Amino acid sequence: MFAYNDDQDLQQAVRRLEYTSLAMRLAAAIGKPIEYGMKRLPAGGREMIQRAARVAIEKCLDVAVKTLGKKTAPSPAFHKAAAGVAGAVGGFFGFFALAAELPVSTAIMLRSIAEIARSEGENLADPLARLACIEVFAFGGSSSGGDIGDTEYYAVRAALARALQEAAAHISERGLAESGAPAVVRFVTQVASRFGVAISEKAAAQSVPVIGALAGGAINVVFTDRFQQAARGHFAVRRLERKYGGAVVRAEYERVKVTLKK
């Protein structure tokens, strides 16, 4: 049904979107289980993380609408290094620096995601494509088991679909002049709620008693790589959907996912 190269691309996309949770990657990077770090988060930490997630997505929405149409030269490796520097600074000052560090790290990741989107044929002059870049932040976290099927990529897309379309339509007509419009707020809230799960895992990893700045830098490199992988999978799927149709690609995606489970 698919051309050979497209079939290979879809298999790679399934692996990127459904395999290996962020928690497992972070645990491997620091040698400690994330559950241990979760116990070390301060009182009120989860509420702070959710607020930080929302602020980060709001900042990225502003960046996406205003500047993502401009081509940028830096490579994914550059963005990992830049995020690593931001994470090192945040790690040096500890958990409560997260609120200041996260919008910077997230904006850096968004630039990398946008480059990946463009390489897969996305037109970043289209608000829907720009919001699809932000949508990637809803795919970065998954449950701690790490088995295939944890992320349920299409289930997340379905949950976001209406909010994504409505926000894109609003921004096309009015820009961000009314950033508090229900359509935009709904999209930001839904992405931020899932992004907060990944941030909790990152914060938990950074709370493990290792050298703060070095750990923060290493963790942000892993964190950035996870979202780059999610972006490569997401935009490869979208490219194939443009070529073969959404229903056809989804059916083949589910078939590949079942095959890879065996």
Q: How far is CA 251 from CA 169, 237, 248, 257, in A?
A: 28, 12, 5, 10
For residue 76, pLDDT over 80 is answered with no
Q: Is the pLDDT of residue 138 over 90?
A: yes
Contact 225, 81 (CB under 8 A): no
Q: What mean pLDDT value characterizes the chain? A: 78
Please tell me which residue, 259 or 26, carries the higher pLDDT value.
259
Average pLDDT over residues 174-185: 75
Cβ–Cβ under 8 Å, residues 252 and 3: no
Q: State yes or no: pLDDT of 93 exceeds 60.
A: no
In the chain, pLDDT over 90 holds for what percent of residues?
A: 34
Q: How confident is the model at residue 69 (pLDDT cuts 50, 70, 90)?
A: low
Distance CA 253, CA 166 (A): 26
What span, in angstroms and rounded, lies between the C-alpha atoms of 207 and 214? 12
Region 30-56 average pLDDT: 70
Residue type, 177: A
Cβ–Cβ < 8 Å for 220, 22: no
Instruction: Count how many Cα atoms sit within 13 Å of the Cα of residue 226 in the half-sphere of its side chain.
Output: 30
pLDDT value at 176 more than 90: no
Model confidence at 74, pLDDT cuts 50, 70, 90, reads very low
Burial degree of 31 (CB within 10 A; 0-12, 13-18, 19+): exposed
88 contacts 82 by C-beta, under 8 angstroms: no
Question: pLDDT tens-digit profile of 243-257?
Answer: 999 999 999 999 999
Tally Cβ neighbours within 10 Å of residue 194: 20
Nearest to 198 by CA among 227, 178, 218: 227
- Give the residue, 149 or 86, on which the prediction is more confident: 86
Tokens representing 229 are 């992988």
User: Per-residue pLDDT for 129 more than 80?
Assistant: yes
- Percent of the chain beyond pLDDT 70? 67
Rounded CA separation 236/100 (Å)? 32
pLDDT at 9: 96
Q: Which two tokens stand for residue 22?
A: 């962020």
Contact 64, 133 (CB under 8 A): yes
Residue 174 clears pLDDT 70, i.e. is over it: yes
